Chains A and B, each alone.
Chain A
């Protein structure tokens, strides 16, 4: 299967701990995005967007959240010092966006469900 793959599917951790999720995009896709979805809401775009350049190491930080995409391959999302409010489904999506053209459809993984005790 060549879809977007995320792991783990579920993560339960104590408040204050750090957690890391992984996303493997569709192989030919050059863009990767992380979303957060809470119960009853649509996915929320988080500013963890990954650089499209396949040879760069892209790292973005936002508060306790950071994402990496070494060499434009898989991506990891790390949440430091987790809080109760971080409990949510974390979705990863990838797309193919050739330079100079409009963004192409995003394809989503099955998500990682995070529960903070």
Chain B
């Protein structure tokens, strides 16, 4: 099956910093989503981005399907950005990566 690898596994940043999270996948996929799981366990849909670039406020994402990777950019980090960021891809089922744990220090 498709392998999904996210990097880095952990990231600690000062409030206001920018960050880039990466998702590599081993084969062609039908779609790709980025999720944020907050410290309370809620899983929030950030982007549905099988290809191209999207932006939503301080967050943006780019997927280069031909090269099998996606990037999530977070600018001007806030403490509320803390949590785990998951990338999930679909071929015949949905496969999640192990996530990047982000901790924003005040």
List which B29-80 residues lie within 8 A (CB) of chain A.
Answer: 30-31, 33, 35, 41-45, 48, 50
Q: Is the interface of A mostly helix, strand, loop or mixed?
A: loop
Contact B94–A45 (Cβ < 8 Å): yes
Which residues of A sit under 8 angstroms from B33, Cβ to Cβ?
105-106
Q: With A41-B98, A42-B98, A42-B99 in contact, is A102–B43 under 8 Å at CB?
A: no
Q: Tell me, in angstroms, the Cα distance from A91 to B95 when the chains sit together.
A: 14
Q: Is A91 a contact partner of B43 (Cβ separation < 8 A)?
A: yes
The reply to whether A44 and B30 form a contact with Cβ atoms under 8 Å apart is no
Given A45-B94, A91-B43; A102-B99 close (CB under 8 Å): no
Known contacts A42-B86, A42-B99, A43-B86; A106/B42 CB under 8 A = no
Closest CB in chain B relative to A99 CB, distance in Å: 15
B residues near A (Cβ < 8 Å) are 30-31, 33, 35, 41-45, 48, 50, 86, 88, 90, 93-99
Can you offer 22 A-B residue contacts whose CB atoms are under 8 A? A33-B94, A40-B98, A42-B98, A43-B86, A43-B88, A43-B96, A44-B96, A45-B93, A45-B95, A45-B96, A102-B30, A102-B50, A103-B30, A103-B31, A103-B90, A105-B33, A108-B35, A108-B43, A108-B44, A108-B45, A111-B43, A113-B41
